[in-house]
């Protein structure tokens, strides 16, 4: 009995000490949390490249070459990309601030006399409230000002902090380098450290690996395709800032349900109001083919059935992630949702009977 009490006391002391060590280690790693996550995710994305190099080279040399490829393929285009984006985003902000776009839209809509007819119907119905185009267009102008200024601030911050960006990117490459070499040992260590059964650990790691692939490979490449195609369409139509609109559509493509339709459908409507009916119909057809092709042909081919998550959950996960973590929320949001849903599945399959005896979860 005394021995059991002694063992229990030692175990409690160990758990407290271990908990303190975890908190202190977490505090040490907190400033580099984003770097570590991006490094782990990047490792999963470029792992096929590393395996290709490993067939003829040593693991260390293959890892070095892969990291050099990541540097030139990602960092240099990103810095250039944000340099161009900052200029076009500021132009959008200036146009919204000076009411250039809203005045053009107001003149176009006034020529249709739709609002006058609607106000006449209100008067006949006994409603004296008169609606003006200024009231309807003001939110659009405010949104344009907000989006333009936000993108400009983000792009300006990145381009004005090139040294810090390069430093953090190099730190991420260090994570990637060692993950290529010792990634399997790291995963095995985490599984051994986890008190969960092996099948649960496997499920968690597989879900995370699948979601990382779905978000960055599937949605990332899908967003790139839709952004480039949308920007090219705007350039063909002669619209201002096609690069900026392409970037906006590229980010919107991450969102299920709405996607690039937020930009494409109003574009088609404006063209039709300008009596460019054929151009408006062309934009709608282009939008339908592009969205359908990416969502139902490209993504299933690239991602497959790695992750099955309801589009509404993905939508709120990305929106909530953006609000909580900024741009990295595109990655963090779905990963957090994956963690919650996977742990929920584990609870239903293995632990629910302990909390609610006799209750069986049905899929």
Q: Which of 168, 142, 144, 143 is nearest to 157 (CA)?
A: 168
Is the pLDDT score of 12 beyond 60?
A: yes
pLDDT surpassing 90 at residue 65: yes
Q: What is the DSSP string of 263-317?
A: HHHHHHHHHHHTT-HHHHHHHHHHHHHHHHHIIIIIHHHHHTTS----HHHHHHH
In this structure, how many other beta carbons lie within 10 angstroms of the beta carbon of residue 276?
15
Q: At residue 57, what are phi and psi to the nearest 5 degrees?
A: -125, 170
Query: Which range is least confidently modeled, 132-136, 178-182, 246-250?
Result: 132-136
pLDDT of residue 360 exceeding 70, the answer is: no
Angstrom CA distances, 335 to 143, 156, 307, 343, stand at 29, 28, 11, 12
Distance CA 225, CA 259 (A): 13
176 within 8 A of 46, measured Cβ to Cβ:
yes
Grouping H, G, I as helix, E, B as strand and the rest as coil, residue 111 is coil
Q: State the Cα–Cα distance between residues 185 and 188, nearest whole angstrom.
A: 5
Q: Is the dihedral of CA 60, 66, 71, 75 positive or negative?
A: negative
Compare 299 and 148 and report the one with higher pLDDT.
299
pLDDT category of residue 103 using cuts at 50, 70 and 90: low
Cα(340)–Cα(334) distance, integer angstroms: 10
108-125 pLDDT, tens per residue?
A: 655 656 666 666 666 666
pLDDT for 121 equals 66
- Mind listing the pLDDT tens digit for each residue in 219-230? 778 888 898 899
Q: pLDDT tens across 200-219, in order?
A: 888 777 777 777 666 667 77
What burial class does residue 209 get, using C-beta atoms within 10 Å of its C-beta: 0-12 exposed, 13-18 middle, 19+ buried? middle
Share of the chain above pLDDT 70, in %: 71
CB atoms within 10 A of CB 33: 12
Is 90 exceeded by the pLDDT of residue 91? no
Residue 240 has a pLDDT of: 75
Give the number of other CB atoms < 10 A from CB of residue 179.
21
Element (H or E) spanning 258, and its range? none
Of residues 260, 278, 280, the one with CA closest to residue 270: 280
- Per-residue pLDDT band at 296 (split at 50, 70, 90): confident
Q: Counting every residue, how long is the chain?
A: 363
User: Considering the chain, what percentage of its residues have pLDDT values greater than 90?
Assistant: 9
CA distance 208 to 68: 26
- In this structure, are residues 65 and 50 in contact, taking their beta carbons and an 8 Å threshold? no
Q: What is the mean pLDDT of residues 171-191?
A: 88
Find the farthest-apart pair of alpha carbons in the chain and give their distance in angstroms, rounded: 92
Averaged pLDDT, 7-36 = 86
Question: What pLDDT was estimated at residue 119?
Answer: 62
Q: Summarize the confidence of residues 141-156 as an average pLDDT.
A: 64
Q: What pLDDT does 286 receive?
A: 92
Q: Name, in order, each residue with C-beta under 8 angstroms of 255's C-beta and a sequence gap of 6 or more.
A: 315, 318, 319
> Which of residues 63 and 239 earns the better pLDDT score?
63
Q: Which has the higher per-residue pLDDT, 68 or 162?
A: 68
pLDDT of residue 229: 92
Label residue 237 exposed, middle or buried (CB < 10 Å: 0-12, 13-18, 19+).
Answer: middle
Residue 135: pLDDT over 70 = no
Q: What would the pLDDT profile of 301-317 be if each residue is shown by its tens digit? A: 766 555 567 778 888 88
Cα dihedral across residues 224, 337, 39, 30: positive or negative: positive
User: Greater confidence, 141 or 191?
Assistant: 191
Tokens 């000076």: give the residue: 98
Query: Mean pLDDT across the chain, nearest whole number?
Result: 77
Structure confidence at residue 24 (pLDDT): 92
Model confidence at 179: pLDDT above 70: yes
Tell me the whole-structure pTM to 2 decimals: 0.70
Q: 144, 147, 333: which is closest to 254 by C-alpha?
A: 333
């Amino acid at each position: 009995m005394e021995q059991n009490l002694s063992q229990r006391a030692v175990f409690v002391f160990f758990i407290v000490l271990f908990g303190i060590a975890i908190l202190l280690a977490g505090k040490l790693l907190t400033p580099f949390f984003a770097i570590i996550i991006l490094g782990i995710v990047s490792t999963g994305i470029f792992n096929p490249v590393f395996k290709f190099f490993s067939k003829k080279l040593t693991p260390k040399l293959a890892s070095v070459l892969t990291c050099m490829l990541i540097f030139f393929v990602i960092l240099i285009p990103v810095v250039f990309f944000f340099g161009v984006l900052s200029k076009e985003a500021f132009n959008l902000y200036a146009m919204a601030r000076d009411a250039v776009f809203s005045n053009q839209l107001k003149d176009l809509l006034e020529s249709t006399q739709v609002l006058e007819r609607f106000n006449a119907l209100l008067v006949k119905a006994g409603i004296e409230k008169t609606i003006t185009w200024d009231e309807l267009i003001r939110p659009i102008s405010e949104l344009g000002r907000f989006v333009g200024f936000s993108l400009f601030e983000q792009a300006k911050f990145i381009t004005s902090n090139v040294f810090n960006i390069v430093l953090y990117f190099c730190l991420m490459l260090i994570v990637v380098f060692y993950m290529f070499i010792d990634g399997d040992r790291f995963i095995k260590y985490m599984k051994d450290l986890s008190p969960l059964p092996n099948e649960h650990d496997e499920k968690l790691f597989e879900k995370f690996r699948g979601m990382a692939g779905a978000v960055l490979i599937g949605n990332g490449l899908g967003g790139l395709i839709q952004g480039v195609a949308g920007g090219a369409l705007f350039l063909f139509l002669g619209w201002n800032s096609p690069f900026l609109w392409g970037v906006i559509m590229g980010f919107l493509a991450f969102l299920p349900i709405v996607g690039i339709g937020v930009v494409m459908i109003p574009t088609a409507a404006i063209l039709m109001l300008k009596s460019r009916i054929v151009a408006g119909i062309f934009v709608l057809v282009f939008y339908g083919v592009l969205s359908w092709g990416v969502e139902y042909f490209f993504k299933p081919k690239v991602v497959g059935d790695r992750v099955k998550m309801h589009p509404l959950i993905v939508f709120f996960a990305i929106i909530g992630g953006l609000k909580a973590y900024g741009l990295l929320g595109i990655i963090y949001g779905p990963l957090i949702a994956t963690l919650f849903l996977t742990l929920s599945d584990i609870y239903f399959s293995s632990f629910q009977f302990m909390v609610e005896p006799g209750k069986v979860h049905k899929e």
